[in-house]
């Protein structure tokens, strides 16, 4: 049988204009056909989130309910300092949260710079289902949440407050990330932590419907009012029920500039496998700003309508979690550098 890599090389990928050919290639390296239900999410703590999503999926539940329930796990976990309760604050000491959600009909809801609410993903869902809008931010998002029964809470835990006070001593903003094999001394946040724990999750339910969710406290010690990629539909997450879904983690500014998750889904539409699509999006980031790309971490996960999944990142150190009837695993994302 012809080796796929050699075939692509021989054909000259740039010269392959027919999506038909690419579609054939994509199918030829399919790993999982009809593997539904299935859920994938970013980072190793995605496994616990997947377990909660699986409770919904295994009984024939809707992917939308699964992703909301799944990402609620890290949101409520104070030890996760990049999502929800206990998230690192901005440089003014305020915990501001970003989240978005999409259902199988292409409906979308989002909140950005939301304070005092443990589950921004549920507020995002309510924006989607109960308002004529897609996105609410800041004070308006908080008022909407409070009017709809969400409780106002203090999200700044003593641990995150301590880390912020430590950071104030230098007040130097620099994205700190999970990168293995750092040549230079690894950058760490006060308390010795990395800062890349946004959860992005895509699920395919037993009925073959896709939904996605993404939620984060954003980059630690960001400027007050800074919004990352995570709540931006098409950047931090995107789902098209005909094709697949994708989510991003990492330095959001770089993801926004290429509309990353939308790009991954569109590449799958053109025939790329989830893995190939994620790789191409990461390469696009590296091509745009090669110097920056070497310094930051960005990872994408993708799941297509057939239940095939993949991931790709800039630097070694990105992990993602997969749960289906056959698998309950954490995988290392393949990396560019």
- Annotated catalytic residues are 198
Using CB under 6 A, which of 72, 96, 160, 249 touches ligand SD4?
A: 249
In the DSSP assignment, the letter for residue 189 is B
- Exposed e or buried b for every residue in 317-328, given b needs 16+ CB within 10 A? bbbbbbbbeeee
Using CB under 6 A, which of 26, 57, 117, 219 touches ligand SD4?
A: 219
Under rule CB under 6 A, residue 110 binds ligand SD4: no
- Exposed e or buried b for every residue in 281-302, given b needs 16+ CB within 10 A? bbebbbeeeeeebeebbbbbbb
Which is nearer to ligand SD4, 127 or 176 (by Cβ)? Answer: 176
Which is nearer to ligand SD4, 103 or 197 (by Cβ)? Answer: 197
Under rule CB under 6 A, residue 218 binds ligand SD4: yes
We find the least distance from the C-beta atom of residue 264 to ligand SD4, in angstroms, to be: 15
Under rule CB under 6 A, residue 229 binds ligand SD4: yes
Using CB under 6 A, which of 252, 274, 310, 317 touches ligand SD4?
A: 252
Under rule CB under 6 A, residue 335 binds ligand SD4: no
Residue 250, H or E segment: strand 244-250
Listed ranges 2-10, 190-198, 264-272, 288-296: which one lies at the site for ligand SD4 (CB under 6 A): 190-198
Q: Determine the Cα angle at 172 with ends 169 and 176, to 5°.
A: 115
Residue 260, H or E segment: helix 260-269
Using CB under 6 A, which of 84, 87, 228, 307 touches ligand SD4?
A: 228
Contact 102, 108 (CB under 8 A): yes
- CA 152 from chain centre, in angstroms, equals 26
Which residues of the chain form contacts with ligand SD4 (CB under 6 A)? 82, 196-198, 216, 218-219, 228-230, 249-252
């Amino acid at each position: 049988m012809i080796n796929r890599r050699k075939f692509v090389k021989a054909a000259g990928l740039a010269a392959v204009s027919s999506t038909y050919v690419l579609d054939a290639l994509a199918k030829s390296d399919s790993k999982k056909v009809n593997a539904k239900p299935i859920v994938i999410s970013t980072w190793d703590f995605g496994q616990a989130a997947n377990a909660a999503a699986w409770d919904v999926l295994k009984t024939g539940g809707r992917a939308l309910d699964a992703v909301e329930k799944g990402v609620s796990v890290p949101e409520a976990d104070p030890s996760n300092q990049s999502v929800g309760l206990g998230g690192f604050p901005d440089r003014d000491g305020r915990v501001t949260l970003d989240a978005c959600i999409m259902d199988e009909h292409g409906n979308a809801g989002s909140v950005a710079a939301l304070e005092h609410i443990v589950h921004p993903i549920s507020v995002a869902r309510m924006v989607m289902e109960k308002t004529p809008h897609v996105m609410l931010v800041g004070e308006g998002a908080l008022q909407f949440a409070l009017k709809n029964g969400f409780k106002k809470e203090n999200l700044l835990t003593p641990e995150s407050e301590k880390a912020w006070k430590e950071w104030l001593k230098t007040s130097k903003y620099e994205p700190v990330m999970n990168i293995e094999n750092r040549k230079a001394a690894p950058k760490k946040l006060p308390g010795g932590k990395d800062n890349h724990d946004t959860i992005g999750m895509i699920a395919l339910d037993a009925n073959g419907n896709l939904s996605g969710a993404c939620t984060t406290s954003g980059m630690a010690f960001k400027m007050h009012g800074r919004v990352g990629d995570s709540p931006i539909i098409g950047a931090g997450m995107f789902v098209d029920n005909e094709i697949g879904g994708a989510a991003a983690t990492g330095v959001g500014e770089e993801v926004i500039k290429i509309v990353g998750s939308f790009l991954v889904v569109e590449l799958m539409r053109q025939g790329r496998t989830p893995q190939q699509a994620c790789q191409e999006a990461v390469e696009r980031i590296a091509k745009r700003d090669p110097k920056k790309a070497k310094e930051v971490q960005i990872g994408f996960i993708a799941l297509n309508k057939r239940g095939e999944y993949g991931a790709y990142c800039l630097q070694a150190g990105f992990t993602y979690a997969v749960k289906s009837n056959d698998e309950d695993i954490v995988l290392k994302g393949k990396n560019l550098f």
